[in-house]
Amino acid sequence: MMSLKIYAVGVNFKTAPVEVREKLACKKEELKDLLVDLKTLSGVEELCILSTCNRVEIYTYAQETALRTLVDLFVKRKGFENAKTYMFTYEGEEAVFHIFRVASSLDSMVVGEPQIVAQFKEAFGEAKSAGTLGKILSRLFEKALRASKRVRTETAIGRNAVSVSYAAVELAKKIFGDLKNARVLLVGAGEMGELAANYLKRLGSQIFITNRTYERALQLAQKLEGNALRFEELPNYLHTMDIVIVSTGAPNYVITKELVSKAMKRRAYEPVFVIDISVPRNVDPQVGKIEEVFLYDIDDLKDVVEKNLKDRLKEAKKADIILWDEVKKFSLWLESLKAEPYILKLKEITKPHEKESPYLRKVVFRAIREMKRNPSLAPIIFRIFEEEVKHVDGRKRLSHVHN
């Protein structure tokens, strides 16, 4: 019989380009039904999906055959079966270590970015709400968050905070130099776009926000001390913007080549910096071919990000040591579960005799402790006690006959 294992399988920015990741991306509104369907149809024991702009990863507790079924179902559901060629698979302790690294932002494009913790908690919450978590993954996620906290408190991984959003701003500075009074348009209300706009505001840029829902644009404009603009009027003011940050959840291109071409003519081809932080991409890649338009998507930020990471990578080595410590603790707990059935049986067969024998209570306590320490010995320890209890019962019956 195949044993159950923890698996981590999926794609991320290291294994797959953005055009692959965006095809596998899971929207929040589809996640609950997707989790339930995949768990039911594949036969895995427990399941969670983490879907961000940089990764789509499946965490599961399953037999190997069920895992293969799960992956087949997932890529078929997404209509992209070739995605399997980009996927990684980790199992056992390697899977646990990977999950801990993700939660601690050591596997992020920007090592040490804080956003992943919130995204990780949200994925955990979605799976819990869908009823696809059990004892194993629940404990795993709790320990992953504990490991993440240890990394932040025991290393300098979070010093001089950087993120994909910050990298976008650094790139804008290289293109434009001084960003004071630069006109920045934030299209959409995505978290990373908001962060980038916030950085630019601190540098003295003028912030404008547009969103399909005007009320949301007003809320964000108030928060960022910017100006809200109506989305349907985008062609009328796009030409006035120096920097355009696109961060929406739209399934198609919001910024088209035609729209930008007209805007560039109206601004006499003064340079424009366009950063598309959306997954799927919301800016037509053809926009980058227009004269004096500098278009970058989330993958283009890698080079900028890497230059800001030298110090953090040193700290990441220290963090990995901490994580392996946490992995070993989790593995011991997982191993100890093998002893649970024997511990429960032992308590059951000795309970009737504990009142009569305080000594037996002490011995049972020590036996349970030993079972937890060495789960492989649990069957042997249980058999010894089972035989002992049979002898006790036998002596009782004889005593009852003689009396």
Q: Which is more confidently placed, 152 or 304?
A: 152
Q: What is the pLDDT of residues 370-387, one digit of tens each?
A: 677 777 766 776 676 666
Residue 137 reports pLDDT greater than 80: yes
- Which residues make up the CATH 3.30.460.30 domain(s) of the chain? 5-159+316-336
Q: For residue 53, indicate whether it is catalytic.
A: yes
Q: Tell me the average pLDDT across 235-259.
A: 93
Residue 333 reports pLDDT greater than 90: no
- Which residues make up the CATH 3.40.50.720 domain(s) of the chain? 164-304
Residue 79 reports pLDDT greater than 90: yes
- Taking the C-alpha atoms of residue 4 and residue 135, their distance in angstroms, rounded to an integer, is 13
Four-way CATH pick for 164-304: 3.40.50.300, 3.40.720.10, 1.20.1440.230, 3.40.50.720: 3.40.50.720
Q: Which CATH architecture has domain 5-159+316-336?
A: 2-Layer Sandwich (3.30)
Angle at 85 between CA 26 and CA 44, to 5 degrees: 55
Q: What is the pLDDT of residues 23-42, one digit of tens each?
A: 999 998 999 999 999 999 99
pTM of this structure:
0.63
Least confident of 75-89, 148-162, 240-254: 148-162
Q: Tell me the average pLDDT across 384-400.
A: 55
- The answer to whether 278 and 295 are in contact (CB under 8 A) is no
Q: What is the pLDDT of residues 344-361, one digit of tens each?
A: 776 776 676 666 666 666
Q: Which of 87-101, 246-260, 334-348, 367-381 has the highest mean pLDDT?
A: 87-101
- The answer to whether 370 and 364 are in contact (CB under 8 A) is no
Active-site residue, from 53, 209, 260, 279: 53
Q: Tell me the average pLDDT across 286-312.
A: 83
Which letter, b or e, does each residue of 168-184 get, where b requires 16 or more Cβ atoms within 10 Å of its Cβ? bbbbbbeebeebeebeb
Q: What pLDDT score does 390 carry?
A: 61
First to last CA, the chain: 51
